[in-house]
Amino acid sequence: MDKNVLRNLSYGVYVVTSKDDDRDVGCIANSVMQVTSNPMTVAVSINHDNYTNRCIKKINKFAISILKEDSDAKIVGEFGFKSSRDTDKFINTNYNIVDDLAVINDSCGYFICKVIDQMETNTHTVFLAEITNADGYTDDNPMTYKYYHEKLKGTSPKNAPTYQEEPKKEDTSSKKTGKWRCKVCGYIYEGEELPSDFICPICGRPASDFERID
Ligand code: FE
């Protein structure tokens, strides 16, 4: 079986937000799809280990902000590679409150969802939800997962449904050029030396959080 064929499916990059009592929580999702138009319903898949999963189950409400190609990549670092369990992901993020939920300003827009059903898989909950409110900010290109992967050199967090372990193949190019991987988000920097003041463009961690992998 060639699992790589699944890499040809198309995905976006979304911030899913909900509430933990009065506290805003959120995570990154790429498996979001509209399933019907009348009523407007969407399905989204969230890992059981994501703190946001249990919060959605408590209030049966969440919002989805659609990231755009030029959204600050640090939003992905903040929401995709940290946990709302012990982090306030909104301290460094501009957001608005709509229908009591936080939505990300630096995005194409958002929609607000009310959960109408859910299904458990081994690792993820698939929420089926009706859209109760929506607004668009811009006609900019939405960020696709392919764009995130190829242009921003980002990787999937292990909790993403699309996560696949990178094949450990012999890379002859790295014999000439060094490769450094961010231990937090997986971003790859190519260069013989990693500058000591380098900051990860995805998650904002310093050079000390990188490891040489070639
Ligand atoms: Fe990083």
Q: Give 90 Cα–ligand 1 centroid separation in angstroms.
A: 18
Within this chain, do residues 124 and 206 fall inside the same structural domain, yes or no?
Answer: no
First to last CA, the chain: 28
In this prediction, residues 98-112 reach a mean pLDDT of 97
Q: Say if 99 falls within a structural domain.
A: yes
Domain, as residue range, for 201: 178-212
Per-residue confidence band for 15, with pLDDT thresholds at 50, 70 and 90: very high
Position with higher pLDDT, 17 vs 156:
17
Q: Say whether both 27 and 128 belong to one domain.
A: yes
| Residue 69 alpha carbon to ligand 1 centre in Å | 18
How far does the centroid of ligand 1 lie from the alpha carbon of residue 129, in Å?
Answer: 32
pLDDT digits (tens, 9 = 90+) for 179-211: 998 888 888 888 889 999 999 888 888 999 999
What's the predicted TM-score (pTM) here? 0.85
CATH number at residue 77: 2.30.110.10
CATH of the domain at 192: 2.20.28.10
208 belongs to a structural domain: yes
Domain count for the chain:
2
Task: Please indicate, yes or no, if residue 98 is contained in any of the structural domains.
Answer: yes
pLDDT (tens digit per residue) in 71-102 = 998 899 899 988 888 889 999 899 999 999 99
| DSSP assignment of 82-143 | S-TTT--TTTTS-EEEETTEEEESSSSEEEEEEEEEEEE-SSEEEEEEEEEEEEE---SPBP
